[in-house]
A and B are shown apart, each in its own frame.
Chain A
Amino acid sequence: EVQLLESGGGLVQPGGSLRLSCAASGFTFSVYAMSWVRQAPGKGLEWVSAISGTNGGTYYADSVRGRFTISRDNSENTLYLQMNSLRAEDTAIYYCAKLLCTNGICYRGAFDIWGQGTVVTVSS
């Protein structure tokens, strides 16, 4: 079964750091681009960051660039999000998501598999 399982969320003080993990199973993790998407309480979806499957290229939303770092360990089938200098507005459910590829074509921004999410709360 294709599955993503996030972990690492929790309560952290403003200015603190947290590292999220996303364990993938049921598919060849290394070939797929992956993303992090978050949702603040009662708000809409916000794309956070993406990393390609092959060359490791990374992309960030302006709201997190310079504070967050996305990475992956293909040998461990795991995606990471290192979050530094956390702010109250970073409070959200963080989802990891897999890019859809079908018939040899990958569709940018089409995420066909999502994890259940991990909750990050930034508060003093």
Chain B
Amino acid sequence: QSVLTQPPSASGTPGQRVTISCSGSSSNIGSNYVNWYQQLPGTAPKLLIYSNNQRPSGVPDRFSGSKSGTSASLAISGLQSEDEADYYCAAWDDSLDGYVFGTGTKVTVL
């Protein structure tokens, strides 16, 4: 059972802004960086955001991340059909001495 909680689903029409939340605790999000991954159907995950709000080279600036206290968020602005995927937050957990992923959010483009 994951210690990072995300909504199971989110949706929007093309061009809209969608936000995904990730709730944790003081031992993970509260004291460590948050990373976000995108997983398209049938493919390996792709790093989307690292260190709370940094984008790896090649990731469009439509994707942005933020963190406040023990929660984090991923925002997708200008939603596109190719953004339809599963999204996971992740962070190191000091109590578990290990890395934890969120429960995952399926984004649907209507």
Interface string of A26-60 (1 = CB under 8 A from B): 00000000010100000011110010000000011
Check B47–A112 contact: CB distance below 8 A. yes
Please, what's the 1-or-0 string for A4-39, where 1 marks a CB less than 8 Å from any CB in chain B? 000000000000000000000000000000010100
Query: Smallest CB-CB separation from A112: which chain B residue?
Result: B47
Given contacts A44-B88, A45-B45, A100-B50, contact A109 B56 (CB under 8 A): no
- Considering the chains assembled together, what is the distance between the CA atoms of A108 and B50 in angstroms? 9
Judged by DSSP, the binding face of A is strand
The reply to whether A47 and B45 contact each other, CB–CB distance below 8 Å, is no
Interface-lining segment among B14-22, B32-40, B75-83: B32-40
Given known pairs A45-B37, A45-B104, A47-B100, the reply for A108 and B92 (CB within 8 Å) is yes
| Residue pair B33, A100 in contact (C-beta under 8 Å) | no
Residues of B close to A107: CB separation below 8 A: 33, 35, 50-51
Known contacts: A60-B98, A107-B35, A108-B92. The answer to whether A95 contacts B45 by CB under 8 A is yes
Looking at B98, B100, B103, the one whose CB has the most chain A CB atoms below 10 A away is B98
A95–B44 touching, CB < 8 Å: yes
Chain B hits for A110, CB < 8 A: 33, 35, 47, 50-51
Cα A107 to Cα B104 in complex, Å, equals 21
Bitwise, B2-23 to A at CB < 8 A (1) or not (0) is: 1000000000000000000000
A selection of 10 A-B contacts at a CB cut-off of 8 Å is A45-B39, A45-B101, A46-B101, A47-B100, A107-B50, A107-B51, A108-B99, A112-B47, A114-B44, A115-B44
Q: A60-B98, A114-B46, A117-B44 are in contact. List 7 more A-B contacts (CB 8 A).
A: A37-B101, A46-B101, A100-B50, A107-B51, A108-B32, A111-B35, A114-B44
Q: For the complex of A and B, list the 4 residue pairs with the smallest distance between their C-beta atoms, beginning with the closest.
A: A110-B50, A47-B99, A114-B44, A44-B104
